[in-house]
Amino acid sequence: MTIIASKCPDYKVTVVDISEERINAWNSDKLPIFEPGLLERVLKARGKNLFFSTEIDRCIDEADIIFVSVNTPTKMFGEGAGKAVDLQFIEQTARRIKENAKSNKIVVEKSTIPVRAAETLAKILHSGNNSVQFEILSNPEFMAEGTGVRDMEAPDRILIGSMDTPSGLAARNILMDVYLHWVPKERLITTNLWSSELSKLVSNAFLAQRISSINTIASICEVTGADVTEVSRAVGMDSRIGSKFLNAGPGFGGSCFRKDILNLVYLCEYYQLNEIAAFWEQVVSLNDYQMERFVKRILQAMFNTLVGKKLAIFGFAFKPDTGDTRDAPAIYICKRLLEEKAFLNITDPHALNNARKDLQDIEEGVDFIEDPYQAVEGAHGIALITEWASYKKLDYQKIFDKMEKPAFIFDGRNHLDHKALYEIGFNVYPIGKPALKHL
Ligand code: UDX
């Protein structure tokens, strides 16, 4: 919405939320999320044509277009528990829009929701005897965290799904006009509602599938002596395959991939497409396997016991340039290392507050330390889980000198200079390539 406001000075954009605390943060200089480039843009537009408010009912009434961007977590109870999407926030929002709308509205689904959920939205909005007309559009969000501003200012594509009726197409054109302020026409694509909803799930499923695929190859490389970075480069240079999203790692995280694939799996099961459900579910199972494999590699390398050993964890966010830790591989990996009775010093430039919340049930064995040099004090090993650029610039001789010997480093992202680390004296365990060890 900040980018829309900054690119469309002739529109007034108001962001509303039920959380007063969050809206206050959006109205301050300390935004509730860390996203490079966002604060400058908020400061430029706020108070001019961008507003943050808790006056939901008034803003519904005043708006012509309403973007529904509420959370759609995986349902954790009843029918479809663990796979289906919990639609309660979507439904509550639809009811609130219906109660407060006194003029016709275009309602845009921005949240990722199950295929054909627009139908539910339409049914609620059109129920009872309200003379107000609602037109539902699907406009899924493809931006990724950490690169949100860039992805929104120069998107690969903007997808708008609508009903194929005169009023549906008219609403679609109104939304297209918003994006045409800065997105070239050929990047706007239009589909029917269900294709648009499904495309969002499929995009995330395909991206996650590439990661799980390369992670399976990493395992093969570790036992055969091949190098996953070299394989990935050779494979990715085939223009039919492409080079992006072929980096092996400790497993994918984030708020979308697991949730959206499980949503796709649930959809397949609902239509009794069981083989197809099993195919996609495997992408998630392999991700679980990859996180566990990372833990096992640490355990095996460190003489099959971590009892009483100290490990420095470099990075807790699910990826760099964000403080977000939702579904981060670090959560699983740290919990498993703690089960093995290791002591953990967790460091991260932006995610320590979230890390503390994620591990709040853990009573002992974990410290959260801002400074990486302090985190490695007396450590037996380092596990790098998030590839923050700053980790490349550290003085690893200084780090080595502070550690117990033999010193281990497990580079879960193949982010560091392994040869240089080995020469300093580290035993280096990359992902998907042979270890460099002095032992
Ligand atoms: C994703 C989609 O990319 C985006 O289009 C959608 O709108 C939301 O979901 P996001 O979750 O922000 O975005 O992060 P993304 O960059 O896709 O990374 C997801 C995870 O995959 C991270 O944990 C990342 O470290 C991991 N990853 C990514 C790899 O392990 N290897 C890769 O090659 C790429």
Which tokens go with 422? 């080995």
- Return the closest-CA partner of residue 59 out of 33, 27, 109, 93: 93
pLDDT at 98 over 90: yes
Residue 131's pLDDT band, with cuts at 50, 70 and 90, is confident
Nearest CA to ligand 1 atom 13: 144
Which atom of ligand 1 is the closest one to the Cα of 203? 5
- Residue 282 has phi, psi (to 5 degrees) of -65, -30
Q: Is 250 in the pocket of ligand 1 (CB under 6 A)?
A: no
Report the nearest-CA residue for atom 7 of ligand 1. 142
**Residue 116 confidence (pLDDT):** 84
CB of 245 closer than 6 angstroms to any ligand 1 atom: yes
CA 25 to chain centre: 21
Give the sheet arrangement for strand 310-314, strand by strand: 366-368, 343-347, 310-314, 381-384, 408-411, 427-429
Residue located nearest, by CA, to atom 3 of ligand 1: 144
Residue 145 and residue 10 share a domain: yes
Residue 135 backbone dihedrals phi, psi, to 5 degrees: -115, 125
Q: What is the mean pLDDT of residues 263-271?
A: 95
> Which residues, in sequence order, are CB contacts of 165 under 8 Å at separation 6+?
none
Q: Closest Cα partner for 255 from 178, 327, 154?
A: 327
Ligand 1 centroid–CA 207 distance in Å is 8
Within a domain: 218: no
User: Of all protein residues, whose CA lies closest to atom 25 belonging to ligand 1?
Assistant: 319
* 308 and 188 assigned to the same domain: no
Q: Are 386 and 251 in contact (CB under 8 A)?
A: no
Domain annotation covers residue 227? no
**Ligand 1, atom 9: closest residue by C-alpha:** 256
Give, for ligand 1, the residue of 207, 288, 314 to mutate: max count of ligand atoms closer than 8 Å to Cβ.
Answer: 207
Residue 408 confidence (pLDDT)? 98
The whole-angstrom separation of Cα 25 and Cα 178 is: 27
Residues spanned by the domain of 13:
2-193
Give the pLDDT confidence score for residue 286 in this predicted structure.
98
pLDDT of 177 strictly over 80: yes
pLDDT of 322 reads 94
In a domain, 81, yes or no: yes
Among 193, 227, 256, residue at a domain's last position: 193
Confidence band for 128, pLDDT divided at 50, 70 and 90: confident
Residue 297 lies in a domain: no
Radius of gyration for the alpha carbons in the chain, expressed in angstroms and rounded: 24
Residue 72 CA to residue 5 CA, distance in Å, equals 25
pTM for this prediction: 0.95
Q: What is the pLDDT of residue 117?
A: 87
State whether the Cα torsion 420-336-282-144 is positive or negative: negative
Same domain for 188 and 326, yes or no, is no
- Give residue 86's identity as a one-letter amino acid code: D
145 lines ligand 1 (CB under 6 A): yes
Our count of domains for the chain comes to 2
Q: Are residues 15 and 139 in the same domain?
A: yes
Residue 423 tokens, joined? 């020469």
Tell me, yes or no, whether 80 lies in a domain: yes
CA 191 to CA 113: how far, in whole Å?
16
CB distance 199 to ligand 1 below 6 Å: no
User: Span 360-389, mean pLDDT?
Assistant: 97
Given 175, 193, 211, the domain boundary residue is 193
Beta bridge partners of 366: 344
Tokens of 12: 């007034």
* Closest among 430, 423, 416, 424 to 400, alpha carbons compared: 424
Ligand 1 pocket mutation pick from 214, 293, 318, 321 by most atoms within 8 angstroms of CB: 318
- Residue 388 belongs to a domain: yes
Residue 268 falls in the annotated catalytic set:
no
Tell me the pLDDT band of 109, cut-offs 50, 70 and 90: very high
Supply the CATH number for residue 115's domain: 3.40.50.720
User: From the CB of 143, is ligand 1 less than 6 Å away?
Assistant: yes
pLDDT for 37-81, tens place per residue? 999 999 999 999 999 999 999 999 999 999 999 999 999 999 999
| Ligand 1 within 6 A of CB of 319 | yes
In whole angstroms, give the CA distance from residue 201 to residue 257: 9
Choose the final residue of a domain: 161, 193, 225.
Answer: 193
Whether 369 is covered by a domain: the verdict is yes
In a domain, 287, yes or no: no
Rounded distance between C-alpha atoms, residue 51 and residue 26, angstroms: 9
